[in-house]
Amino acid sequence: MQKKLTTIRLPDEIMAYLEDIQDKTQLSRSKTIELLIDITQDYFSIDQVCLESSVRDLIDGRTKKTQG
């Protein structure tokens, strides 16, 4: 599996949650995030994740750059 570098910004509450999992599992931050994504993939379909996104009213405030 080839890995790609990504950068994300997370709220302090989520970072504290990740750090708590890291402490208890002795995993690195990236492995902890991979674990949580794997769990999500195992237990939720894409449609369920999309439904949760709409129910939680998540908004991505970024604007797409268009070629022009």
* 56 pLDDT above the threshold of 90: no
Using CB atoms within 10 Å of the CB of residue 66, give its burial: 0 to 12 exposed, 13 to 18 middle, 19+ buried. Answer: exposed
Read off the DSSP letter of residue 67. -
pTM for this entry = 0.74
pLDDT value of position 51: 92
Amino acid at residue number 35: L
Token reading at 54: 């709409």
Average pLDDT, the chain: 89
Pairwise CA distance, residues 13 & 7, whole Å: 18
Tell me the torsion sign for CA atoms 5, 3, 43, 18.
negative
* 67 pLDDT above the threshold of 80: no
